[in-house]
């Protein structure tokens, strides 16, 4: 059986190589590719993804898994061998349900979709993006039907990002959040003038913002021999292979927090990928447990740490030295309050911690409606604006700041958005558990203490990759299931103090 297992690893390794190549091509597409290269790149990505799918969903892998399953079942659940067989088998059962042609169509539609979206977004022209989005939604419906589901069609797609979660459970968690977040947003909305962040809207030169980001990345433990940061329209993180993790950022010179917090956010993802056990290389274990868990790491660094008072007690003096004209007269307390300013606004990735989840509720609801056929793609902008108005009380002046703001749908990520809020929920559960082990980390969040938090996360979460499912991991790490209580308590406590509630 050891020989069969080695054969399996060889085949799985080739699949991972194709996926890694596709990741490299996608990264390049978003960073350095010249515009005329888009069509050829779409074709290449389609070919790579189709070949990866065909190779993975092959009879030879199916037969090996069939032979290895009884053997693996007798090994410890968390052994490398049992975990590879278990996770590969779960993926395999899903993969054989999707025809190779559909995979190829999806890949081509989404590669061209990205290109179309980039142009439509910059021209704020939803009509230009509509045919691409229609095509993608149609294909995702086909994919969901091919995969099958018990409850709603949405579940089939959600499972790709958040295995073992169902939209019913998500709706339940989100309802619990709404009950306390909406009153909180209303209470804060009556005292918006308590926090002034006008000084964050001055001119902050690109180069200095970049340098500050790189400095904090180093403190967080980002290994520049095993990764790099580049610029892209949409911040993202991707693993090209063992020892090669790339994150991107975009810098706005007229608003300091934008790049800073997205840099910390992406670094949370990057540290997860950098922290995977090395033996997982070229196996299906070499990824995060789920997108929610992945997001717990990025949101933790962005918000729980990056927007904490302790963090800025350490880093604000450095920022003041970099930007003496802009920040020299600003107190630490005023800066802390400014970067935690709450205000219902248009753009998700620039939203504050409190209103952020409302943006997610909107996307989650619209996706469910589009997939069930309740909402036509052409009616999407109106539906979007309607929900923005009712949840957040603001309406986008154009589609670039509205329905076109996110890259996700253009690249086929449908069913992905709820994982952001799941990540918010989990981030507090994980960090509070870490704080029990290492209280100093939370007391004084800087320099060496950032590394201590990173080490704790690596030890308890990162290195396990996909060995455990999200529910298993949450149980193992926190001793209980996913729960909104710690998150809501954290949010209410923090913002009551800032807004004198």
* Residue 240 in the binding site for a second copy (CB under 8 A): yes
* CB-nearer residue toward a second copy: 280 or 312: 280
Q: Could you tell me which stretch among 12-20, 203-211, 362-370, 394-402 binds a second copy (CB under 8 A)? A: 12-20
Please list, in sequence order, all residues whose beta carbon lies within 8 angstroms of the beta carbon of residue 130, skipping any fewer than 6 positions away: 377, 378
**Element containing residue 440 per DSSP (H, E):** helix 439-443
- Nearest approach in angstroms of CB 20 to a second copy is 5
Contacting a second copy within 282-341 (CB under 8 A): 282
- Nearest approach in angstroms of CB 46 to a second copy is 8
- Indicate the burial class of 102 (C-beta count within 10 angstroms; 0-12, 13-18, 19 or more): middle
- Nearest approach in angstroms of CB 372 to a second copy is 36
Query: Cβ atoms within 10 A of the Cβ of 146, count?
Result: 15
Q: Which residue in the set 7, 9, 11, 21 belongs to the binding site for a second copy (CB under 8 A)?
A: 21
Report the phi/psi class of residue 415: left, alpha or beta, with left for phi > 0 and alpha for psi in -120 to 50.
left
Q: Give dist(CA 452, CA 443) in Å, integer.
A: 12
Q: Give dist(CA 273, CA 458) in Å, integer.
A: 10
The catalytically annotated residue of 266, 273, 295, 367 is: 266
Q: Which residue in the set 241, 310, 386, 471 belongs to the binding site for a second copy (CB under 8 A)?
A: 241
* Residue 25 in the binding site for a second copy (CB under 8 A): yes
* CB-nearer residue toward a second copy: 24 or 394: 24
Whether 329 contacts 469, CB under 8 Å: no
Whether 286 contacts 465, CB under 8 Å: yes
Q: Give dist(CA 290, CA 64) in Å, integer.
A: 26
- Nearest approach in angstroms of CB 454 to a second copy is 17
Please list, in sequence order, all residues whose beta carbon lies within 8 angstroms of the beta carbon of residue 102, skipping any fewer than 6 positions away: 139, 142, 143, 146
Query: Cβ atoms within 10 A of the Cβ of 51, count?
Result: 18
Q: Which residue in the set 79, 101, 179, 226 belongs to the binding site for a second copy (CB under 8 A)?
A: 226
Q: Of the candidates 133, 151, 155, which has an alpha carbon nearest to the alpha carbon of residue 376?
A: 133
Q: Which residue in the set 67, 171, 242, 369 belongs to the binding site for a second copy (CB under 8 A)?
A: 242
- Nearest approach in angstroms of CB 361 to a second copy is 38
SS3 call for 246? strand
Contacting a second copy within 28-57 (CB under 8 A): 28, 32-41, 43-44, 46-48, 51
Q: Give dist(CA 357, CA 79) in Å, integer.
A: 37
Q: Could you tell me which stretch among 238-246, 349-357, 397-405, 491-499 binds a second copy (CB under 8 A)? A: 238-246
* Residue 501 in the binding site for a second copy (CB under 8 A): no
* Residue 493 in the binding site for a second copy (CB under 8 A): no
DSSP 202: S
* CB-nearer residue toward a second copy: 33 or 394: 33
Contacting a second copy within 252-281 (CB under 8 A): 281
Whether 109 contacts 384, CB under 8 Å: no
Q: Which residue in the set 225, 325, 493, 500 belongs to the binding site for a second copy (CB under 8 A)?
A: 225
* Residue 218 in the binding site for a second copy (CB under 8 A): no
- Nearest approach in angstroms of CB 497 to a second copy is 41
Q: Which residue in the set 196, 224, 395, 476 belongs to the binding site for a second copy (CB under 8 A)?
A: 224
Q: Give dist(CA 236, CA 406) in Å, integer.
A: 12
* CB-nearer residue toward a second copy: 225 or 493: 225
- Nearest approach in angstroms of CB 128 to a second copy is 19
What is the C-alpha end-to-end distance of the chain, expressed in Å?
64
Q: Give dist(CA 456, CA 465) in Å, integer.
A: 15
* CB-nearer residue toward a second copy: 116 or 355: 116
Please list, in sequence order, all residues whose beta carbon lies within 8 angstroms of the beta carbon of residue 449, skipping any fewer than 6 positions away: 440, 441
- Nearest approach in angstroms of CB 26 to a second copy is 10
Size of the site for a second copy (CB under 8 A): 40
* Residue 6 in the binding site for a second copy (CB under 8 A): no
* CB-nearer residue toward a second copy: 99 or 241: 241
How many whole angstroms from its chain centre is CA 228?
18
Residue 150 designated active-site: no
Which residues are the active-site residues? 266
Can you give the binding site for a second copy, defined by CB under 8 A?
A: 13-14, 17-18, 20-22, 24-25, 28, 32-41, 43-44, 46-48, 51, 223-228, 230, 240-244, 281-282
């Amino acid at each position: 059986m050891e020989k069969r297992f080695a054969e399996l690893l060889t085949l799985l390794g080739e699949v991972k190589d194709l996926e890694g190549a596709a990741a490299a091509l996608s990264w390049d597409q978003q960073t350095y590719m010249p515009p005329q290269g888009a069509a050829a790149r779409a074709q290449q990505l389609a070919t790579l993804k189709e070949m990866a799918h065909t190779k993975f969903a092959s009879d030879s892998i199916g037969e090996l898994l069939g032979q290895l399953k009884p053997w693996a079942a007798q090994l410890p659940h968390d052994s490398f061998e049992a975990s590879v067989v278990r996770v590969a088998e779960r993926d395999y059962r899903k993969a054989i349900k999707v025809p190779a042609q559909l995979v190829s169509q999806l890949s081509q539609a989404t590669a061209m979709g990205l290109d179309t979206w980039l142009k439509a977004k910059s021209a704020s022209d939803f009509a230009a993006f509509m045919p691409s989005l229609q095509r993608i939604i149609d294909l995702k419906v086909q994919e969901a039907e091919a995969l099958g589901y018990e409850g709603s069609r949405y579940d089939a797609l959600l499972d790709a990002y958040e295995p073992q979660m169902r939209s019913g459970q998500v709706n339940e968690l989100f309802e619990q959040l709404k009950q306390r977040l909406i009153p909180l947003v209303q209470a804060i909305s009556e005292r918006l003038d308590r926090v002034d962040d006008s000084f964050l809207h001055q001119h902050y030169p690109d180069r200095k913002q970049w340098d500050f980001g790189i400095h904090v990345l180093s403190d967080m433990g980002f290994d520049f021999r095993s990764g790099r940061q580049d610029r892209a329209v949409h911040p993202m993180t991707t693993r090209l292979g063992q020892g090669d993790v790339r994150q991107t950022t975009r810098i706005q010179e007229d608003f300091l927090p934008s790049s800073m917090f997205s840099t910390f956010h992406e670094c949370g993802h990057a540290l997860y990928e950098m922290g995977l056990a090395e033996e997982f290389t070229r196996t299906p274990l070499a990824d995060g447990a789920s997108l929610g868990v992945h997001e717990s790491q990025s949101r933790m660094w962005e918000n729980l740490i990056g927007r904490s008072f302790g963090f800025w007690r350490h880093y604000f003096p450095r920022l003041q030295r970099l930007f003496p004209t802009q920040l020299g007269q600003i107190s630490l307390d005023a800066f802390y309050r400014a970067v935690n300013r709450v205000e219902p606004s248009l753009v998700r990735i620039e939203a504050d911690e409190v209103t952020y989840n409302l943006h997610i509720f909107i996307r989650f609801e619209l996706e469910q409606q589009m997939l069930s056929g309740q909402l036509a793609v052409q009616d999407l902008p109106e539906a979007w604006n309607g929900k923005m108005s009712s949840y957040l009380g603001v309406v986008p002046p154009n589609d670039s700041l509205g329905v076109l703001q996110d890259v996700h749908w253009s690249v086929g990520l449908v069913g992905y958005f709820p994982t952001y809020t799941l990540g918010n929920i989990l981030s507090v559960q994980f960090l509070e558990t870490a704080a029990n082990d290492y209280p100093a980390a939370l007391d004084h969040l800087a320099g060496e203490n950032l590394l201590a938090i990173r080490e704790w996360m690596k030890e308890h979460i990162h290195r396990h990759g996909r060995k455990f499912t999200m529910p298993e991991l949450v149980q193992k790490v926190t001793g209980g299931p996913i729960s909104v209580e710690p998150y809501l308590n954290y949010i209410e406590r923090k913002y009551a103090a800032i807004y004198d509630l």
